[in-house]
Amino acid sequence: MAPAPRRILLADADAFFVAVARQVDPDGAGKAEHLVVGGRPGSRGVVCSASYAARAFGVRSGMSIGQALRLCPQALAVPVPRKSCSDASRAIRAALERLAPVVVAASIDEFYCDLTGTEALYRGESLAETAHRMRATVIADTGLSVSIGGGTSRLIAKIAAGAAKPNAGAGGVHIVAAGAEEAFMRTQPLSEIPGIGPRAQEKLAKLGLVRVPQVLDADRTMLDRYLGRDFSAWLLRKARGIDDSPVVAGERQKSVSREDTFDHDIADDDALAVELQRLVVRVVGDLRGDGLAARTVTVKLREADFSTRLASRTLHEPVSTERPILAAARALLARLRHQRRRPVRLLGVALSSLDDGDVPAQLMLLEPVDDALRETERDRRLAAALDRVRGRFGAGAVRPASLVEPGAPATVEERRELDGPGRRPR
């Protein structure tokens, strides 16, 4: 007998950062129909989210705050309420976990729920009925709205959640029945398929492939010739709605990162070194807060012309303290600056190859060990002491002396984090 179809849901918070900003500031952001979240007017931040009314003017995530306000001059622009967003994300997940046996966060505002094999638990109610109950529970518990898509795979649930969005004219839930996957996919543009980014869309458009039916009805030989056999096979599977990827509880976090867009381009190496240390302090705090260690350090530069460059270094063993990570990050920054010296508008630090202690470290034997990148017992004792102080008095209670100017207040970012670290999840 064939196994029962999978029952997968994706709960996607509606305009999440906008909704949280409105909760945090009901008299300001809460009353603004046209709201942009990402930075204040005059800042060099980028749009993290925008209200549906602002999106109607062309405001989109990733554009600069200045561009967003030129498109929608009447909009109110506010910073991202990082800690409140983290708290709201945890609250949404807790509400979902009351009704779903497996809940996996795909991002701060997206959660996959696997209800496969739970028909008896839900007394035979349809997946749509369960989804409506889950949505109502989230709204009641958090005051935040979610759109829920569902079907037999993560792919279908993801795209169906988009179809359930208020700006799509839907009522918050869209379920694709088993066996209707390909018919549903035929209603979609190729840009809705995860993994088909702007470059792939451009390449496909040159071949006259913009919507899913154009791929499904195309000659396979032509697809193989112009796209390559592997990519065309992958594309056809996705276009048919075929996706076997599991929803796994406890999926490993892939990376932890921090980045800052500066109010003014920075060309001075000493000033960049200070900003780098500031980022390392914050990202290492995130790392240890999750009980993780990392082996790969990446430094990201975005220069005045918006070109972006990266440099990475994989260490010999997982580390979770500031000194070895800062040493690696400094060397990477020096490498990038040696290659090309232009004013920098954005600096970032990412930690990946994460280890929660269950996986033994795999030593890299092809290059000599750099003692400056080794984590010592003294590093770990110091980190534990700092964590205790920050846990009691706040994330900004202890900072390296090099980051403190006599009589100077904390930076805007540090003031935001006195209540606890936010982070860019992956």
Catalytic site residues? 110
Secondary structure of 220-248 in the HEC alphabet?
HHHHHHHHCHHHHHHHHHHHCCCCCCCCC
User: Which residues touch 276 (CB under 8 Å, ≥6 apart)?
Assistant: 299, 326, 329, 330, 333, 347, 349
Burial 207-241 (b: 16+ CB within 10 A, else e): eebebbbbbeebeeeebeeebeeeebeebbebbbb
Angle between helices 82-97 and 16-24 (to 10 degrees): 110
Q: Do residues 127 and 175 lie in contact, with contact meaning Cβ atoms separated by under 8 Å? A: yes
User: Which residues touch 4 (CB under 8 Å, ≥6 apart)?
Assistant: 116, 117, 119
Give the dihedral sign, CA 40/42/45/50.
positive
CA dist., res. 4 & res. 116, Å (int): 8
Q: List strand residue ranges (DSSP E) for 155-227, in order.
A: 173-175
